[in-house]
Structure 1
Amino acid sequence: MIKATYNDKDLVVDILTRSFESNQSVNYIVKQDKERLKRIKYLMDYSFEVCYLFGNVFLSSDKKACALVLYPDKKKTTFKTVLLDVKLILNTVGFQNIKKTLSRESLIKGIQPKEHMYYLWFIGVDPKFQQSGIGTSLLNDLIQDSNLKKRPIYLETSTLKNLPWYQKFGFQVYHEAYLGYKLFFLKR
């Protein structure tokens, strides 16, 4: 695993956009119109920016997978973050989805424990290379990194088939929520 640089942003955004194109949780907040794929791409761009500021962005050593890690306790409101949030609303969510999106984010923050965590916001593998062990290797590296930082890993997934994979690494479901789809909260 390598730490991504800002020059890797386009690659990371591309991998995540293609990996999460049909993800229920992502599509719940993204305005569903002819620009949907561009909106998902902008969500991944936003997420990269936030994690680059207040966490870490990692790539697998072969640059076919990536992960966005956020340290919520380090996140601060700045002019830049406010601008990013406004752009997220305009480019991804749309005005009609603001309430739904804010409710979802409030629900997630209310369920997550108030401790210093290693929040695995997104992990994705280039779809052409999925099922080849790249994601497994990256997740193992992330677990080692979280252990070095002495921070438990938290994440959410709406993809039921991913649960056994995460559980294989010692993640446990600590909460489930229904938002029109099931959202599973995991901790390791």
Structure 2
Amino acid sequence: MIKASKIHKERVIQLLAECIDTNKSVNWIVKQDADRKQRIRHLIDYSFDACVDLEQIYLNEDENGVIISSMSDDKLPFLEEAYLTARFVLQVTGVDGIAKALRREDYINSFHPQDHEFIYIWFIAVDKNQQGKGIGSKMLKEIIDKSNKENMPIYLETSEERTLNFYLNHGFENYHTSEKEMFGFDLYFLRKLPENFDSSSS
């Protein structure tokens, strides 16, 4: 894999936008109005800008697959974070949706570990014309290798059963499922602990 830089932004947005357009969790966050598709692109743009300088966005060599991830203790400078948050509200959720988005974030964070660092996967996507060729699996395995090498678990959430099965087939554990009443759909909480995991060394 290669680490994405700012020159890769449009390719990352293109890859993800076509893959998450019908994602239930994404559409729960994004304001559902005439600008919905553009708001999804803004969401990816926000995710890219939040992670690119932390060097946690990866493309495969042919730029047909992408993983956006972060480390749990990565923090942006205050002004940059404030700017991104304001942009997120205006372009993605709308002002009327920010309370809902914050409620979701608090709920998700309550199931993440507080006593050790972890790798968090925001998104993974493969060009629709290249799916079924093992590209996503190969990229994920590299993140798993990193997890094992650095003794850090991997955490993520998904609302899609196909994605759930993809991660389960790669050794992830579905350690919590939200109540349907929370979001109107099941949100699956997944993790994979590294081999010989020792939280005290994190």
Please state which band the TM-score falls in when normalised by the shorter chain: over 0.9
Partner of 2:86: 86
AA at the equivalent of 1:78 = F
Partner of 2:32: 32
| Residue 182 of structure 1 pairs with residue 186 of structure 2 | yes
Counterpart contact for 2:2–2:61, Cα < 8 Å: yes
Counterpart contact for 2:174–2:189, Cα < 8 Å: yes
| Residue 163 of structure 1 pairs with residue 178 of structure 2 | no
Give per-residue Cα distances to partners, 1:86-112, cap 9 Å, x unaligned: 001000101121111110011001111
Q: Mark the runs of 5 or more structure 2 residues left unpaired by the alignment.
A: 193-202
Counterpart contact for 1:16–1:44, Cα < 8 Å: yes
AA at the equivalent of 1:161 = R
Q: Mark the runs of 5 or more structure 1 residues left unpaired by the alignment.
A: none
1:55 shift after superposition: 5.2
Cα separation, 1, equivalents of 2:170 and 2:147 = 13
Aligned positions of 1:1-188 closer than 5 A: 1-54=1-54, 56-114=56-114, 115-178=116-179, 179-188=183-192
Q: Quote the sequence identity (%).
A: 37
Give the 3-state SS of the residue equivalent to 1:32 in structure 2. Answer: coil
Counterpart contact for 2:4–2:55, Cα < 8 Å: no
Q: TM-score, normalised by structure 1?
A: 0.95
Cα separation, 1, equivalents of 2:97 and 2:118 = 28
User: Higher mean Cα deviation, 126-135 or 40-49?
Assistant: 126-135
Cα separation, 1, equivalents of 2:82 and 2:25 = 23
Cα separation, 2, equivalents of 1:6 and 1:147 = 28
Give per-residue Cα distances to partners, 1:150-182, cap 9 Å, x unaligned: 211111010012222211111001111131111
User: Higher mean Cα deviation, 169-178 or 75-84?
Assistant: 75-84
Cα separation, 1, equivalents of 2:20 and 2:87 = 20
Q: TM-score, normalised by structure 2?
A: 0.89
Q: How many residues align?
A: 188
Computing the radius of gyration from Cα coordinates, the structure with the larger value is: 2
AA at the equivalent of 1:92 = V
CA RMSD of aligned residues (A): 1.3
Counterpart contact for 1:54–1:72, Cα < 8 Å: no
1:148 shift after superposition: 2.4
